[in-house]
Structure 1
Amino acid sequence: MTLPGSDEVRYTVADHLATVTLDRPERRNSLSQSVMSTLIECFAHASTTDDVRAVVLTGAGDAAFCAGADLKEFDEMARRGEQIPVPMSGSDRNVYEVVAETPKPTIAVLNGPAVAGGFELALACDLRIAAEHAFVVMPEAKRGMGANFATVLLPRLLPRAVALEMLYLGEPVSARTALGWGLINRVVDRTELAAESAKYVEAIVGNAPLTLRRYKEMTFKGWELPVAAALRLGVGPNPYLSEDRAEGIRAFLEKRPPRWQGR
């Protein structure tokens, strides 16, 4: 099977892990229209490939995870009299929505600053591990943009006043501060990011794949539901009825690593 990807978005699959790398370091890994289309293809592939149990999203180099939309491309479109893309409209799916709805664990590895749409990409992932020098920022109010995804997600992840301050001011927030807010899960030295993120992701992928998918779908789809309704969702694969459930219990009792089959 031919894997998706391009010169600007690398996509690899190994050991049940899909890795998506934004590879435009000369443009701070910014999001052109072609990059966003390729990202959608990569996450769609990961979503529907049984061998993939989790997805890592990162950037090339250490100058930036992602600088957000390619503003040079937007300016060129405006000069030609063309309308720049408007979120949640048109014939293409929204890239942030696609990442957020991926039915498997998604981990953003912030190798540098996550700015504007780049921060929204990180927010669309389930977990975030960052290099010490990284920061996050939504400068959309300084650019006349709308932060469509962040305006929905940030107030769900932070106290409302904190989220609005971040949006209203558009000032950078350090990785350490974001860690304290719960926006980032781990912060490590830039020299240790590759090793620590690999160890972090390996620990996730080593767990029962059907259970991971159940966790993702139940938490995502039950987010705003009343408790009684969320408890009855029953979305995602049912681990209670799986062969992996029997294997997991047997391996525990036999004091050996489980051999997950994903069924």
Structure 2
Amino acid sequence: MADIVSLSREGGAPETPLGVCLTDGVLRLTLNNPPANVLSVALLERLHQELDAAADSREVRVLIIAAHGKLFSAGHDLKEMTARRSDGDRGRAFFEKTMRLCADLMLKIQKLPKPVIAEVDGLATAAGCQLVASCDLAICTDTSAFCTPGVNIGLFCSTPMVALSRAAHRKQAMEMLLTGETIDASTAKEFGIVNRIVPKQYLTQVVNKYASVIASKSPLTLKIGKEAFYAQADLSTDEAYDYTIRVMVENMLARDAEEGIGAFLDKRHAVWTGE
């Protein structure tokens, strides 16, 4: 099944801020808000809608977040936000709405019962870098770059810091946040922001392969595993083992685990039911 929304109208004018394509259990969401794929309120709301729909869909097993154009995302729409300074509250209500929409999106990605892969080709800056760091996996081209440059314009990247400091080591995250300098793909991999770096011409092929491999697994097992991964990360080691023991026992009682183990012992392919 494929549900495709065209990325652009004739002449290059944007038709939608988000391209959507579902193929073989993999939902590809393509940021299409030229020229910098800024995370405007409209785009954030569309992403929320698609994630909500994906969470409830039996057809969607894996999500990919990619981007159309030279930049992955330049983060928040500063022009949109600046225009609201003329509001009676100097923009406070709109700023709160924007930051909450973005933070809730990042939380939704983490809580989504399906894996999310960032496909990055180009610059991911500020909330764009936050989006990459929030995804479960991230694969980028060798010409991609990342930064949290808010400090350069008097606006510390405090909300991007949440995802960044959980993906990268503390001192490396602080380096990016305090200097605002751009790091290359190799440094991003060293910091832990991305999993793999590939040549531009192979990016989509590699990401699709990852997505296809993951989509072939039991959807219930993926849901259990992703939820447990993030839950145990906030616990002490003792608490984490107590929690994951309970998770594994319940997982063992699932039909998919019974089927998967049986298929392994019988040397046949498992047939997943998601139960």
Normalised by the size of structure 1, how large is the TM-score? 0.88
For the residues of structure 2 that align with 1:170 and 1:20, how far apart are their CA atoms?
28
Partner of 1:154: 164
Letter of the structure 2 residue corresponding to residue 77 of structure 1: R
Out of 27, 30, 34, the position equivalent to 2:35 is 27
Out of 42, 46, 54, the position equivalent to 2:54 is 46
| Contact preservation (8 Å) 1:46, 1:52 | yes
The 1:91–1:137 alpha-carbon spacing in structure 2 relative to 1, beyond 3 Å, is: closer
Q: 1:3-37 CA deviation, whole Å, 9 max, x = no partner?
A: 9x88111233222222211112x222111111111
Partner of 1:18: 27
Instruction: Tell me how far 1:214 sits from its aligned partner.
Output: 1.4
Letter of the structure 1 residue corresponding to residue 104 of structure 2: N
For the residues of structure 1 that align with 2:123 and 2:101, how far apart are their CA atoms?
30
The 1:32–1:241 alpha-carbon spacing in structure 2 relative to 1, beyond 3 Å, is: same
Partner of 1:241: 253
Letter of the structure 2 residue corresponding to residue 211 of structure 1: T
| Contact preservation (8 Å) 2:169, 2:192 | no
Partner of 2:233: 223
Q: 1:93-146 CA deviation, whole Å, 9 max, x = no partner?
A: 722222222222111110221111111111111110001111111001112223
- Is 2:272 aligned against 1:260? yes
- Is 2:9 aligned against 1:9? no
The 1:93–1:178 alpha-carbon spacing in structure 2 relative to 1, beyond 3 Å, is: closer
* RMSD over equivalenced CA pairs, Å: 2.6
| Contact preservation (8 Å) 1:218, 1:230 | no
Specify the SS of the correspondent of 1:231: helix
The 1:90–1:39 alpha-carbon spacing in structure 2 relative to 1, beyond 3 Å, is: closer
Instruction: Identify which range, 197-206 or 90-99, moves more after superposition.
Output: 90-99
Q: Which runs of 5+ in 2 are unaligned?
A: 6-14
- Is 2:224 aligned against 1:214? yes
Instruction: Tell me how far 1:231 sits from its aligned partner.
Output: 2.8
Letter of the structure 1 residue corresponding to residue 19 of structure 2: R
The 1:95–1:192 alpha-carbon spacing in structure 2 relative to 1, beyond 3 Å, is: same
| Contact preservation (8 Å) 2:45, 2:101 | no
Partner of 1:76: 83
Instruction: Tell me how far 1:91 sits from its aligned partner.
Output: 8.5
Out of 215, 221, 224, the position equivalent to 1:205 is 215
Specify the SS of the correspondent of 2:271: coil
For the residues of structure 2 that align with 1:169 and 1:178, how far apart are their CA atoms?
15
The 1:55–1:176 alpha-carbon spacing in structure 2 relative to 1, beyond 3 Å, is: same
The 1:200–1:231 alpha-carbon spacing in structure 2 relative to 1, beyond 3 Å, is: same
| Contact preservation (8 Å) 2:27, 2:63 | yes
Point out the structure with the larger helix share.
2
The 1:30–1:188 alpha-carbon spacing in structure 2 relative to 1, beyond 3 Å, is: same
Instruction: Tell me how far 1:188 sits from its aligned partner.
Output: 0.5
| Contact preservation (8 Å) 1:211, 1:237 | no
The 1:126–1:185 alpha-carbon spacing in structure 2 relative to 1, beyond 3 Å, is: same
Instruction: Tell me how far 1:90 sits from its aligned partner.
Output: 6.3
For the residues of structure 1 that align with 2:168 and 2:112, how far apart are their CA atoms?
22
Partner of 2:12: none
What percent of counterpart residues are identical? 29
The 1:91–1:235 alpha-carbon spacing in structure 2 relative to 1, beyond 3 Å, is: farther
For the residues of structure 2 that align with 1:40 and 1:236, how far apart are their CA atoms?
31
Letter of the structure 2 residue corresponding to residue 191 of structure 1: Q
Instruction: Tell me how far 1:224 sits from its aligned partner.
Output: 1.6
Out of 182, 187, 197, the position equivalent to 1:187 is 197
Q: Which runs of 5+ in 1 are unaligned?
A: none
Q: How does 1:36-115 map to 2 (within 5 A)?
A: 36-61=44-69, 63-80=70-87, 81-83=90-92, 84-86=94-96, 94-115=104-125
How many residues in Structure 1 have an aligned counterpart in Structure 2?
259
For the residues of structure 2 that align with 1:51 and 1:101, how far apart are their CA atoms?
18
Specify the SS of the correspondent of 2:65: strand
Partner of 2:185: 175
